[in-house]
Amino acid sequence: MPVGFYVGANFESDYTPRPDGPTDQFGAACGFCVSTEAAYLIPTKKRSEFALPVEVTRMFTRSYAYARGNGLNENEPWRLLLAEIAERVAAAKRRFKKIG
pLDDT at 31: 82
CB 10 within 8 A of CB 35: yes
Predicted pLDDT at 60: 54
What integer pLDDT is reported at residue 70 of this predicted model? 64
User: Minimal CA–CA distance to 98: which of 52, 49, 45, 36?
Assistant: 36
**Residue 99, pLDDT score:** 79
pLDDT < 70 regions, the chain: 53-65, 69-72, 100
